[in-house]
Copies of this chain bind each other. A is one copy, B any other.
């Protein structure tokens, strides 16, 4: 049984997220499995490094799957590129170590959230940014970002109210940068709870607006969902990198 690794990207605009769901047509995982199954002539199940939300994007996602087929990787790559829709792209298809698993072996992941903080037009990237014209104090947001570094209980940053597993996660890097009219929040961590990045960004925005102070951030750890900030829209979110 071969174990293969796919490195890929997608524009999530028209999808209901990564995860295949019973009765839900348009998911990235579903589309990928359907296409691989047709190419390889057997039922394929893929594991992604993590689920991305409905409407969120990935510049670099990693998936792995097992197959009995002896089709060369180059041929699988070429057929995937032929049959997948143009909003899903495959960088590479390679043999992986027998025990490689895209989710279980991921050491950390990096997400980027793009805020278009201007009245000016953002026509060409309009599907990949969150437009927000509020005046934001980026230096305060940077200060608040530092408080997230390290391991904390992110219960307040988890949209799944029935979460029974640990809500401890470690954030290794979190930066807020303004480049002209755009503000970019980039976060690297060992794992992310359901909607965690989007709630974290919403909390940083509330700091930027002056509705919270950077000093108040540590009080959120271990708290209930309602103590943290609002959930920003998925379309500004993009999975950038997975490290193994």
Contact = CB atoms under 8 A, between A and B. Distances in A.
A122 B123 CA distance: 18
A87 interface: yes
A223 B59 CA distance: 46
Contacts of A53: none
B91 A126 contact: no
Contacts of A123: 9-11, 86-89
A9 B91 contact: no
The contact size tier of chain A is 20 to 34
A81 interface: yes
Number of identical monomers bound together in the oligomeric complex: 2
A87 B127 CA distance: 10
Interface string A44-86: 0000000000000101000000000000000000000100001
B121 A89 contact: yes
Contacts of A90: 121
A148 interface: no
Contacts of A128: 124
Nearest to A90: B121
Interface in A1-59: 8-11, 57, 59
A211 interface: no
B91 A124 contact: no
Interface in A205-234: none
A59 B124 CA distance: 9
A89 B11 contact: no
Interface in A78-134: 81, 86-91, 119-124, 126, 128
A60 to B, nearest CB: 11
Contacts of A91: 120-121
A210 B119 CA distance: 47
Given A59-B124, A90-B121, A91-B120, 6 more contacts: A8-B121, A11-B123, A11-B124, A57-B124, A81-B121, A88-B123
20 contacts: A8-B121, A9-B121, A9-B124, A11-B123, A11-B124, A57-B124, A59-B124, A81-B119, A86-B123, A86-B126, A87-B123, A88-B121, A88-B123, A89-B120, A89-B121, A89-B123, A90-B121, A91-B120, A91-B121, A124-B128
